[in-house]
Amino acid sequence: MMIRPAVSRRRLLLVALNVGLLGLLAAVTWSSSALAQADGRARGRYLAVSGGVPGTGADVIWIVDTVNQEMVALTWDPDRKRIVGVGYRDLAVDAATALRGGGR
């Protein structure tokens, strides 16, 4: 009668594979940010307001990023069935211009 070893070779390989995968997961979790996030831009907080544009029949959604101080205006194009950007403003630049007395 042959006695089998307590731990088979297959079990050792599976344990080694799991330890390697756990190490890879830890490395990815605690690594530095991705290159696309390297510009130091803060994660935004958004506020959306809808309304009409005076003089037109278009409805617009203004989305303001309160952290990065940016605003974008979007509208729906029913012919192309897609959202279209109407405009963009850097609110920090606008505020600095208003403080200097410009922008009137």
Q: What is the pLDDT of residue 93?
A: 92
In sequence order, which residues have a C-beta less than 8 Å from that of residue 45 and are 6 or more positions away? 65, 66, 67
Mean residue pLDDT across the chain: 84
Which of 83-92's residues contact partners 24+ apart within 8 Å by CB, and which partners? 86/60, 91/64
Q: What is the pLDDT of residues 35-53, one digit of tens each?
A: 555 566 778 899 999 988 7
pLDDT mean over 45-69? 89
Above 60 in pLDDT, residue 74?
yes
What is the mean predicted confidence (pLDDT) over 4-19?
84
Question: What's the whole-model pTM score?
Answer: 0.55
